[in-house]
Chain A
């Protein structure tokens, strides 16, 4: 069963450093999503791709955040000049194209900023 895979599972870094996370979606899924989740909260939407096109971005996605999906397969999320407030679980999800298809999530990358 090849679900959504995220790497790394944990990342600890110092404030001001850049970090990059990777997401490999379920292979037949065209849509890929990034969410952020902090303790005691539900996931918050960051951005969404259909194939290689980035179609939606949340205003939560400041200019320090950038996401790519270069060949419509895996995706990367980069955070530049990390801040304490960036500490969170970063979740990736994928879904097939279709009206209100369920999104399937990976187990996330937990980012801790020292």
Chain B
């Protein structure tokens, strides 16, 4: 059973059209939830860590939020340079590995 599920798998946005990406996870024993950005042919680039429900983090046009069962990555007024795959990953108590979702592939059209 997948521990991390991301939706939608792919998203096309007009420049300036705000949207949200969803990451749902197996609740029990969550130690931290991470958002990464990945460009083609590159490794994941760290964006945010969220540790507890109600927490929010912001960076430029991106804002990550966490509830007890899911996280959202809000993209406000996106630009073409925001086009990338956004990966959600969770760390659970008892081990040090990250469990990743399949990613949200975002394309922003000028």
How many pairs of residues, A versus B, come closer than 8 Å at their CB atoms? 59
A58 to B43, CA, bound (A): 20
- Stretch from B12-20, B44-52, B65-73, B74-82 contacting the other chain: B44-52
- Which residue of chain B has the shortest Cβ distance to A4 in the bound complex? B43
Please determine whether B46 and A104 come into contact, CB atoms closer than 8 angstroms.
Answer: yes
Q: How far is the CA of A44 from the CA of B101 in the complex (A)?
A: 9
Q: Which residues of A contact B96 (CB under 8 A)?
A: 31, 33, 48, 55-56
Q: Decide if B97 touches A48 in the complex (CB within 8 Å).
A: yes
A95 to B32, CA, bound (A): 14
Q: In whole angstroms, what is the CA distance A56 to B87 when docked?
A: 23
Q: Within the complex, what minimum Cβ distance (angstroms) separates A65 from chain B?
A: 15
C-alpha spacing A107/B41, complex, angstroms: 7
- Provide the residues of chain B in CB contact with A33, threshold 8 Å: 96-98
In the complex, what's the smallest C-beta–C-beta distance from A79 to chain B, in angstroms? 19
Range for the number of chain B residues in contact with chain A: 20 to 34
Report the nearest B residue to A41, measured CB to CB.
Answer: B102
* Complex contact B42–A100 (CB within 8 A): no
A sample of 24 cross-chain residue pairs with beta-carbon separation below 8 angstroms, ordered by A number, consists of A4-B43, A31-B96, A33-B96, A33-B97, A33-B98, A41-B102, A42-B87, A43-B44, A43-B98, A48-B97, A56-B96, A56-B97, A91-B43, A99-B32, A100-B31, A100-B32, A100-B49, A100-B91, A103-B34, A105-B36, A105-B44, A106-B43, A108-B42, A110-B41
By a beta-carbon cutoff of 8 Å, the part of chain A in contact with chain B is 4, 31, 33, 35, 40-45, 48, 55-56, 58, 91, 93, 99-100, 102-108, 110
Closest 6 pairs (CB-CB, A-B): A42-B100, A100-B32, A105-B43, A45-B97, A100-B31, A107-B43
